[in-house]
Amino acid sequence: MIEIAPSLLAAPFGDLSASVATVLTAGAQVIHVDIMDGQFVPPITFGSNMVTLAKSLGSPVVEAHLMTVSPERHLETFAEAGADRIIVHQEATPHLHRVLGRIKQLGISAGVAINPGTPASLLREVIEITDVILVMTVNPGWGGQPFIPKCLEKVREIADIINERGAATLIEVDGGVNDLTIPQCVTAGASLLVTGTALFAAQNVATRFRELQSIARNG
Ligand code: DX5
Ligand code: ZN
């Protein structure tokens, strides 16, 4: 099933609970929480308490996208906070294989994110132990940036690797995902679509969620 995953980074900070409740009522299955540490990327966002909040409101799947250096230091914290999936950046650790193994050991889904400048070929070494590959379609750190079309080639390349191996790994895209880019991402092989600005800038977020979900599922 193709899913739109709302990114709380773009939701109004004054009432995050209401935003989560709105998208859940509209049918969201996956809530995307962007954790930035001021090191891997310049901004600092929020910590594991945001995961706890999203989970406490009944989100079926809460995923923590760790844009942090040394992600291995935070795995237990985010698992205990209720994350159903932890996504680490390939560029943030020299021990990717071990980190993914540890996430699986914690009993949750393991994801790897790659920046626009990182080749897909590196993932060949870990694809069998990776549940989700998150292809960054902008450079991480900020919402509201334009989609980088070149990244679609990488989505296609990863889809080919997954097919070759007969792996069950899902492909997720993150950054500049909107009405125009959703069909391109789905055609290239993505089934999880993170949306921040395209969703939360709308007047009626519930209607907008259903509209984006429909574009993703029906073109
Ligand atoms: C960016 C984050 C994204 C961000 C996407 O570094 O990883 O999840 O919220 O925002 P939009 O959809 O506005 O590009
Ligand atoms: Zn993200």
Cα 194 to averaged position of ligand 1 atoms, centre (Å): 7
Q: What is the pLDDT of residues 14-65, one digit of tens each?
A: 999 999 999 999 999 999 999 999 999 999 999 999 999 999 999 999 999 9
Choice among 37, 84, 131, 174 that is catalytic: 174
Q: Is 167 left (phi over 0), alpha (psi -120 to 50) or beta?
A: beta
Cβ neighbors of 105 (< 8 A, separation 6 or more) are none
Query: Structure pTM?
Result: 0.98
State the SS3 of 13-45. HHHHHHHHHHHHHCCCCEEEEEEEECCCCCCEC
Cα distance between residue 2 and residue 173, in whole Å:
12
pLDDT at 198: 98
The residues of the chain scoring below 50 in pLDDT are none
Answer whether 6 contacts ligand 1 (Cβ < 6 A). no
Answer whether 10 contacts ligand 1 (Cβ < 6 A). yes
- Among 178, 197, 208, 209, which is best to mutate for testing ligand 1, by the most ligand atoms less than 8 A from CB? 197
pLDDT at 219: 86
Choice among 15, 34, 37, 131 that is catalytic: 34
Does residue 131 have an active-site annotation? Answer: no
Answer whether 194 contacts ligand 1 (Cβ < 6 A). yes
